[in-house]
Each structure stands twice: as C-alpha cells, then as structure tokens.
Amino acid sequence: MSDPLRDAARRVKLMGFDVDGVMTDGTIWFGPDGDSLKGFNTLDGHGLKMLAGAGVEVVIISGRSSAAVKLRAANLGITTALLGVENKREAMRELAAARGIDMSECGYMGDDIVDLPVLRACGFSAAPANAHFFVRQHVAWIAEAAGGRGAVREVCEYLLDARDALDALLRDCLH
C-alpha cells in the first residue's frame, strides 16, 4: 500500500533548510562588535552530508544574513546558501526552475510563519518539534527533536529512509 508522505519524501531532489530555529535553536548571540554567533549541531551536519551524498541537493534559504551561516555552509559543502531572502517561496521556485525540477520534487524545513509560503509550495514540508504552533498544523512531517537539537538529522534520515538509502548507510558504518 502506498504512503503519500513517504512517496513525497522519496521524490525530493532539492531540500531547503531555514537556519534560525531549524539548524540552530533560534538563539542569536551578539558579540561586543555586533557579530552574531550561532551554535550548530554536529549530528545535524552529518545528516546533511549523508543526504547530499545520496543525491539530494541541500540548500539554505534564510531571512537573515550571517557570516557564521556562510562558514557553516562551506564547512558542510553546501554551495547554495541564500541569505537575507525576503521571499523564500520565490527563491525556491527560482532554484527549482534553474535545475529543471518541479516544486513537487522540492522540500523545505522551516519553523516560523514566515516559512509557510515556501513550506506550502513544496512537495514535502517539515518542521522541528518546537516550530510555531501554526506551522506545525501546515506541514507534512514534524520531527521529534527541536531545532538545533537534532531535528535536521531526523528529517535527513527520514528522506534517506524513504529513498531506501538509510539502511545501506548504517550498514556501511559497521564495517
């Protein structure tokens, strides 16, 4: 029997992520010179690398600009990090069009109401456990973990499992 959510996850070729509240816990630390500092979860980072290794393009689309995010993206091998984006849905549509893929083959993970337009436009949508209440009502999949605390890793593993790629990755780790 077909599972529509799993089928949508299996079709994802381009997966976008918000940063604050998704890849981080949403806390922004400001240094004395106005530099912003963010904490990223290493488990999430490895999940993003595994997802990319399985052929899913990983992109960051965030409303805030941050040198820390640029550095994190480069560290993870994410070549498309769109920062300071006001219209995330349009940014995702442009990325999909440039790659010749349909929005039904795109996914996005966001946590706040500003993410709803892109979440609703993608074929697969996800949120961390602590996403805004209204967002949780409008996404297809909700992580058990909070943003910055493993939610990204969970969605990566869900997408990998839907592609029947997770078991092989885990087996490879045992040898």
What residues does each domain of the chain span? 4-165
Q: In what order do the strands lie in the sheet with 141-142?
A: 80-83, 57-62, 14-17, 106-109, 124-127, 141-142
Average pLDDT score over residue span 27-48: 90
- Residue 128: which of 58, 44, 66, 50 has the closest Cα? 44
| pLDDT tens-digit series, residues 56-106 | 999 999 999 999 999 999 999 999 999 999 999 999 999 999 999 999 999
Q: How would CATH label the architecture of 4-165?
A: 3-Layer(aba) Sandwich (3.40)
What's the mean pLDDT in 5-27?
96
Tell me what pLDDT residue 31 has: 84
How far is C-alpha 72 from the geometric centre of its chain's CA atoms?
14
Number of H helices, E strands in the chain: 8, 8
